[in-house]
Structure 1
Amino acid sequence: MRSQLKYALVTGGNRGIGFAICKGLLEAGFNIFLAARLLDKGKAAMDKLSAHGSVHLIELDVTDDGSIQQAIEQVCKQTNTLDVLVNNAGIYPDEEANILTVSRERLTKALDTNALSPIGITQAFIPLLEKAEYPKVINISSGNGQLDGISTSAPSYSLSKLALNGATILLANALQSKNISVYAMCPGWVKTDMGGPSAPLSPEEGADTAIWLATEAGRTENGKFFRDRTEQSY
């Protein structure tokens, strides 16, 4: 008999929107795998979250295949199913760059972290996801990844999120036969290290749509892009 416990893994869960997603999912009854690249920062976040429910710290560098495999092994020590995978970890490397000056190195780094890594992590966790009753993958994207939102002043970020949106569609189509739903969502402009202090939204507000997707959205929303719980165009 399948355990009634629900498990979610959140990459970049130690701060900002990822931390708020972890907290919201804990309050919704999930057991959380908080994946962080740096264990000390992950431990500090886990200590703050532990009062809200069960949190397991996972060391994960999303750009390293060996680290992804080790993360799977850590997760499998606790469960053989994964109900929700949130691909949240990302970078914004476009300070003082535009599409006319951005380097190939910066473009490659953004694409690797923000688009290729979520694909690789999703591929790696398919065996655990397909054992869940209603498995879901949630990709944290951006309005800068929409065709009418790409920005010449955020070239690598925009292109990487555009690629992530495309990957969401491809994964949703490919995983439909396994009953794994895949969504993309924009959290909006949020007060985080990336968004800065002038942003109008709190991390909790930015996390709301991801939590809604994890807890309420169904298969009819598969492959779609959301902001404020509302479907958006790619």
Structure 2
Amino acid sequence: MSTYLITGIGRGIGQELARALLMRGERVIGTLRDPAQVPASLSAFAESGQLKLLTLDVQDGASIAEAARQLDEPVDVLVNNAGIIGQRNASSLDTDAESFLETLRVNTLGPLRVIQAFLPHLRRSKAAKIMTISSRMGSMSHAKSDRIAYRASKAAVNKVMQGLATDLQPEGIAVFAVHPGWVRTDMGGSGADIAVEESAAGLIRLIDGLSLKETGGFFDWTGDRLSF
């Protein structure tokens, strides 16, 4: 049994990742802005103690630090899942600066802050891994400008993860960015390509299969390596 820390398990990919891992017997530490809002599909695991809930808002540094203080156990896998889409239809010509900054705080600085806060827990694992949910929309090979804040935040978090991979490789901690696919969630919409169960299953296979040899890489949910 391994211990997984997953941010944003209240819905979507985070909720399904937590459910699938719990079903196969893993220990999961899940974060929510309000633990009282734990999804019904996870409540029995929380009651049994297999799922530990932490209050955490990735925009709030004090909240992240307090959550880390409340945890006293090794973390084998950290999944940075919490994120927002930002302004859905805003291009580079009409994006709002404050909304853009909020998207960067959640999608880029949030994962970095979480990793920094929980690094002592990851260091207690024999072979820790960090997986951050990114998106192909942030790839520099895609020139589209719709949802520009989201695209920029994912491009930035990819670079942050690449830097962390370099910094943490000597400690044996592997770091990856992943594209989960276009998933039918509240964020992806009902017309998206794949079901959340399919995406989560692919991401879990990635977590299981990737090692320090692939650290710093960007992969999609099927296991294909992507270009930044």
Once the two structures are superposed, what CA deviation does each residue of 1:186-233 show, in whole Å capped at 9, x if it has no partner?
A: 011101010111112111112233212322211111110111111111
Distance 2:5 2:38 in 1: 13
Deviation for aligned residue 1:131: 1.1
- Residue equivalent to 2:208: 215
Once the two structures are superposed, what CA deviation does each residue of 1:46-76 show, in whole Å capped at 9, x if it has no partner?
A: 3165599811111110111111112112222
Once the two structures are superposed, what CA deviation does each residue of 1:112-148 show, in whole Å capped at 9, x if it has no partner?
A: 1000110111011111101101100000000101112
Distance 1:89 1:146 in 2: 19
2:5 is the alignment partner of 1:12: no
The change in CA–CA distance for 1:195 and 1:43 in structure 2 (over 3 A counts) is closer
Structure 1 residue ranges (4+ consecutive) displaced by more than 6 angstroms after TM superposition: none
2:90 is the alignment partner of 1:94: no
3-state SS of paired residue (1:190): coil
The change in CA–CA distance for 1:207 and 1:83 in structure 2 (over 3 A counts) is same
| Structure 2 contact 75–122 (Cα < 8 Å) conserved | yes
Letter in structure 1 aligned against 2:136: G
| Structure 2 contact 11–39 (Cα < 8 Å) conserved | no
Deviation for aligned residue 1:38: 2.1
Instruction: Decide which of 101, 107, 112 is 1:108's aligned counterpart.
Output: 101
Deviation for aligned residue 1:109: 0.6
3-state SS of paired residue (1:12): coil
Distance 2:20 2:79 in 1: 13
Letter in structure 1 aligned against 2:157: L
Distance 1:71 1:138 in 2: 19
- Residue equivalent to 2:122: 129
Q: Structure 2-normalised TM-score?
A: 0.93
Letter in structure 2 aligned against 1:229: G
Distance 2:218 2:173 in 1: 16
Distance 2:209 2:79 in 1: 15
Q: Structure 1-normalised TM-score?
A: 0.91
2:61 is the alignment partner of 1:65: yes
Distance 1:109 1:212 in 2: 32
Deviation for aligned residue 1:107: 1.1
Unaligned runs of 5+ in 2: none
Deviation for aligned residue 1:98: 1.3
Distance 1:82 1:172 in 2: 17
Letter in structure 2 aligned against 1:22: A
- Residue equivalent to 2:225: 231
Q: Number of aligned pairs?
A: 227
- Residue equivalent to 2:175: 182
The change in CA–CA distance for 1:38 and 1:45 in structure 2 (over 3 A counts) is farther
Instruction: Decide which of 22, 28, 34 is 1:32's aligned counterpart.
Output: 28
Distance 1:122 1:204 in 2: 26
3-state SS of paired residue (1:230): coil
| Structure 2 contact 79–130 (Cα < 8 Å) conserved | yes
Once the two structures are superposed, what CA deviation does each residue of 1:2-42 show, in whole Å capped at 9, x if it has no partner?
A: xxx42111001121100111122223432001111122322
Distance 1:138 1:36 in 2: 18
